[in-house]
Amino acid sequence: MVGLQPSERPPTTAVKFLAAGTAACFADLLTFPLDTAKVRLQIQGENQAALAARSAQYRGVLGTILTMVRTEGPRSLYSGLVAGLQRQMSFASIRIGLYDSVKQFYTPKGSDHSSIITRILAGCTTGAMAVTCAQPTDVVKIRFQASMHTGPGGNRKYSGTMDAYRTIAREEGVRGLWKGILPNITRNAIVNCGEMVTYDIIKEKLLDYHLLTDNFPCHFVSAFGAGFCATLVASPVDVVKTRYMNSPPGQYHSPFNCMLKMVTQEGPTAFYKGFTPSFLRLGSWNVVMFVTYEQMKRALMKVQMLRDSPF
């Protein structure tokens, strides 16, 4: 019996798990400055007194990046990268790597195709599972990205990533590491549905109608559409999540209280602060991640088949 080629043999769950985490880390390395700019724009305006005291005002994506480089140095764009990579290895591995397995679990037996409802359920499930496991890394990442430092003489609350975990747990309790988990679960359930379900459907239709083959152009178009859809629907929750997770104890009583203060003090447009960097970051992140993910699955399956081959 002739064996399947690597491109035809379905990747195992372990292969998807490893490929998703690695591809997400690679995408983070390339797009992290955009994510940092997004965080700075999202928190700008939440504390008017601090805002008035600051000399640095952020205007747009490029303006934010240039201001940070000028006032804090180029390294500030990658503040929190270690926690970001830790987050992706645990977070993306679950929400992306396990998506197909969970989707198959929800699909009724005997059905050839998964419905949109089934895919949404799978996206929500893996997104919630991933946040529950990776929330502490997200809290630390945002704290680093949001903090301003002006070089060697500047005051920094955390000396490093591990010190940040210890300091937050000591000052705010272990629960502080899971601060904002409810808005984060909501946000990532929406993002995961926007990303995975949109990517899944666009890719499926492109292949079914023979518009593209299963290669780079197909992955690029599907990933770009997934990034735009995810940014559009998740931006309001993302802003609330970022502000709540970055806030000192007592500033907001709950995520809902944070949302109400934003509306009353800054208006509803505050929910879309940082939308452009969010889309630039999420769109480019999706393209890099999904293209890398697809190629890594094939490469890992080739390695596995060579290892299993008797020759």
Query: Which residues are within 8 A (CB) of 301 and not within 5 positions of it... i.e. 6 or more apart?
Result: 6, 9, 11, 15
Classify residue 4 as left (phi > 0), alpha (psi -120 to 50) or beta.
Answer: beta
Among residues 30, 55, 84, which one has the least CA distance to residue 284?
30
Mean pLDDT calculated for residue range 274-290? 88
- Tokens standing for residue 175: 């629960």
Residue with tokens 């109608």: 209
What pLDDT was estimated at residue 8? 62
pLDDT higher than threshold 80 for residue 6? no
Mean pLDDT calculated for residue range 51-61? 63
pLDDT band, residue 78 (cuts 50/70/90): very high
Mean pLDDT calculated for residue range 12-30? 95
pLDDT higher than threshold 90 for residue 99? yes
Query: Which residues are within 8 A (CB) of 73 and not within 5 positions of it... i.e. 6 or more apart?
Result: 151
Mean pLDDT calculated for residue range 266-280? 85
DSSP element (H, E) containing 226: helix 216-246
- Mean of all residue pLDDT scores within the chain: 86
Query: 250, exposed or middle or buried, with CB in 10 Å at 0-12, 13-18, 19+?
Result: exposed
What pLDDT was estimated at residue 85? 94
Going 49 to 54 to 59 to 65, the CA torsion angle's sign is negative
What's the CA gap between 153 and 190, in Å, rounded? 41
Mean pLDDT calculated for residue range 133-139? 92
Least confident span in 5-19, 85-99, 147-161, 278-292: 147-161
Residue pair 149/198 in contact (Cβ under 8 Å)? The answer is: no
pTM of the prediction?
Answer: 0.81
